[in-house]
Chains A and B, each alone.
Chain A
Amino acid sequence: SSELTQDPAVSVALGQTVRITCQGDSLRSYYVSWYQQKPGQAPVLVIYGKNNRPSGIPDRFSGSSSGNTASLTITGAQAEDEADYYCFSRDNSGNHPHWMFGGGTKLTVL
């Protein structure tokens, strides 16, 4: 089956911009969604579709995609953005639809 690859850890200075990436062959065919997860909590959807934010998600979060790579950008990172971030997309291998998450990126805000 195919995979979604994320950097395990990324850091950003408070107020700066950070990009979290997700790579995979299936991303040439399918969009990703992005989830934020803080310790001990359920994941929260932050980006879906081409670049859509659910109600309540700050506009400093944005998404983009090119070829086999999708990106989540946080413009002006805040302390509360420190969390794990997961990309999610459809797996285009096999006979039946499967979905998969990336391995996750731990974001540290310095």
Chain B
Amino acid sequence: EVQLVESGGDLVQPGGSLRLSCAASGFTFSSNGMNWVRQAPGKGLEWVSYISSSSGTMYYADSVKGRFTISRDNAKNSLYLQMNSLRDEDTAVYFCARGINYYDTSGSYHYYFDYWGQGTLVTVSS
């Protein structure tokens, strides 16, 4: 059974830092790209960051670029999100999600999240 378990959420002051972790089990972690997605209280979902299976490629949403760093340790089956210079608007539940990408028989590209963790709450407030 695939499991993703986030941890590290906390109350932090504006300008502070926090590191989130996501422990993966039940699948070959090193074979999949992984993502962080967040959801502010009462708001919709926002994709935050992506890392490829080998850590060779990372992408970030414009809202976090330059402040957040995604990383992974395939030996530990773990995904991380280092968050620096935190702002009030970073307050959210942060989910890790396994990404699946493929090209279908017509050559069309597909990308989706097939498994999600339960999330960890980050609150940025003074």
Among A11-19, A73-81, A93-101, the one that faces the other chain is A93-101
State whether B45 touches A86 (Cβ < 8 A).
yes
B interface residue numbers (CB < 8 A to A) = 35, 37, 44-47, 50, 59, 61-62, 95, 100, 104, 108-114, 116-119
Q: Chain B interface mostly helix, strand, loop or mixed?
A: strand
Q: Are A45 and B112 also in contact (CB < 8 A) when A96-B59, A100-B47, A101-B44 are?
A: yes
State whether A48 touches B59 (Cβ < 8 A).
no
Q: Are A42 and B59 also in contact (CB < 8 A) when A88-B112, A88-B113, A103-B44 are?
A: no
Give min CB distance, A49 to chain B, whole Å. 5
With both beta carbons as reference points, the residue of chain B lying nearest to A86 in the complex is identified as B45
Give min CB distance, A53 to chain B, whole Å. 12
Q: Which residues of A (42-74) have their CB < 8 Å from a CB of B?
A: 42-45, 48-50, 54
Chain A residues in 8 Å Cβ range of B35 = 99
A interface residue numbers (CB < 8 A to B) = 1, 30-31, 33, 35, 37, 41-45, 48-50, 54, 84, 86, 88, 90, 96-104
State whether A99 touches B95 (Cβ < 8 A).
no
State whether A44 touches B44 (Cβ < 8 A).
no
State whether B111 touches A99 (Cβ < 8 A).
yes
Give min CB distance, A43 to chain B, whole Å. 6
Give min CB distance, A95 to chain B, whole Å. 11
Chain B residues in 8 Å Cβ range of A1 = 62
